């Protein structure tokens, strides 16, 4: 018999959508967007930068209304022409930092942390691949859709997310995962939960490139990456917006670019962290596999498995590549 591993009243709001409603509405809306644009679209992608033109907007809005029962109006779409932004306006309440996509299941709950500039909805395809028996709760920046200042340090974000995790699942084993910068946050959260006496049975790191400073590998022979992260332009305005991303909300997807820049600035100051003393699984794409694996292996001290997965840094979370990632995670949890 399935068990509810969370306190529903702590993670849903009387206004707006539940996590399950967010999942279903996103699946419907993303299908419409993909058909109109002829390609899969990330939830933070701007419709027009993804290849859409003004003449396609009436067709998009009509399909959302008739096929998905999402009556998005043109004025709302013009305010935020991104999937996550337009759905947020329709939901009736801003999305918080915890999105419980699936609350019931026999397995320990899996908490997935999005990267800098990412949102919880990016994990929806993975949630679908993991099956109905796996509770999944996604965590995102508190400023992703709420008018809140973001955290300016990894430790402060990890402490807040740890508190939120314990509110959702106050007892029992946990599974943690993180994508991109979220992998570093997940590592810090794993340490914080362990200090509080909680057991993290598995830690999943999805294509997270460690900094040499963070690994303590300076002078160790770990080769620096030859693929530095590219900052979106214009750099200076976005960097200024990043400092207050959340309270100041640029339109058209610029908010997520600002949060990405903030995350990249923040990772430059990450102090060396010890390895997690538990099963750690690193999934590596073609993004920068040699440097990523080398940096994590240098840390040592923990059972670390490294697996290559298809797709790029972001497409590994999208169809069709996400099915491979989902099957590997299911196999690990089953065994």
Q: What is the per-residue pLDDT for 289?
A: 75
Angle at which helices 83-91 and 19-37 cross, to 10°: 140
Using pLDDT thresholds of 50, 70 and 90, give the confidence band for residue 94. Answer: confident
d(CA 22, CA 319): 18
Strands 280-284 and 304-308: parallel
Q: Which residues contact 176 (CB under 8 A, 6 or more apart)?
A: 110, 111, 113, 186, 189, 190, 193, 200, 202, 203, 204
The number of angstroms, rounded, from the C-alpha of 221 to the middle of its chain's C-alpha atoms is 31
What is the set of domains in the chain, with CATH numbers?
19-91 (1.10.1200.10), 98-334 (3.40.50.1820)
Q: What is the per-residue pLDDT for 234?
A: 63
d(CA 161, CA 142): 10
With CA atoms as reference, report the closest residue to 178 among 151, 207, 201: 207
Cis, peptide link before residue 234, omega less than 30° from 0: yes
pLDDT digits (tens, 9 = 90+) for 263-301: 776 766 666 778 888 999 999 998 777 777 877 877 655
pLDDT digits (tens, 9 = 90+) for 155-179: 888 898 999 999 999 999 999 999 9
Contact 97/168 with Cβ under 8 angstroms? no
> What mean pLDDT do residues 128-132 have?
94
The two tokens of residue 159 are 């402490």
> What mean pLDDT do residues 320-333 have?
96
Using pLDDT thresholds of 50, 70 and 90, give the confidence band for residue 181. Answer: confident
């Amino acid at each position: 018999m399935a068990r509810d591993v969370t306190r529903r009243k702590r993670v849903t709001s009387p206004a707006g959508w539940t996590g399950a409603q967010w999942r279903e509405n996103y699946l419907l809306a993303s299908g419409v967007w993909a058909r109109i644009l002829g390609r899969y679209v990330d939830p933070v992608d701007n419709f027009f930068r993804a290849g859409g033109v003004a003449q396609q907007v009436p067709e998009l809005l009509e399909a959302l209304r008739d096929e998905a029962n999402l009556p998005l109006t043109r004025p709302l779409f013009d305010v935020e022409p991104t999937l996550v932004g337009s759905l947020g306006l329709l939901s009736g309440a801003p999305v918080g930092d915890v999105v419980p996509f699936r609350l019931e299941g026999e397995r320990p709950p899996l908490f997935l942390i999005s990267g800098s500039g990412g949102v919880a909805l990016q994990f929806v395809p993975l949630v679908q691949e993991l099956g109905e028996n796996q509770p999944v709760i996604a965590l995102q920046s508190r400023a992703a859709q709420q008018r809140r200042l973001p955290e300016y340090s990894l430790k402060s974000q990890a402490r807040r997310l740890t508190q939120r995790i314990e509110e959702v699942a106050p007892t029992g084993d946990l599974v943690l995962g993180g994508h991109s910068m979220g992998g570093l946050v997940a590592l810090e959260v794993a340490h914080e939960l362990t200090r509080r006496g909680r057991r993290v049975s598995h830690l999943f790191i999805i294509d997270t490139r460690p900094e040499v400073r963070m690994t303590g590998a300076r002078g160790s022979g770990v080769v620096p990456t030859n693929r530095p992260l590219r900052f979106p332009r214009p750099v200076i305005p976005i960097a200024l917006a990043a400092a207050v991303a959340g309270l100041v909300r640029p339109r058209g997807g610029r908010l997520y670019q600002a949060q990405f820049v903030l995350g990249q600035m923040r990772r430059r100051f990450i102090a060396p962290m010890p390895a997690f003393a538990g099963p750690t699984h690193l999934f590596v794409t073609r993004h920068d596999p040699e440097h990523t694996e080398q940096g994590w292996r240098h840390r040592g001290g923990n059972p670390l498995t490294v697996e290559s997965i298809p797709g790029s840094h972001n497409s590994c979370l999208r169809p069709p590549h996400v099915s491979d990632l989902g099957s590997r995670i299911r196999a690990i949890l089953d065994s």
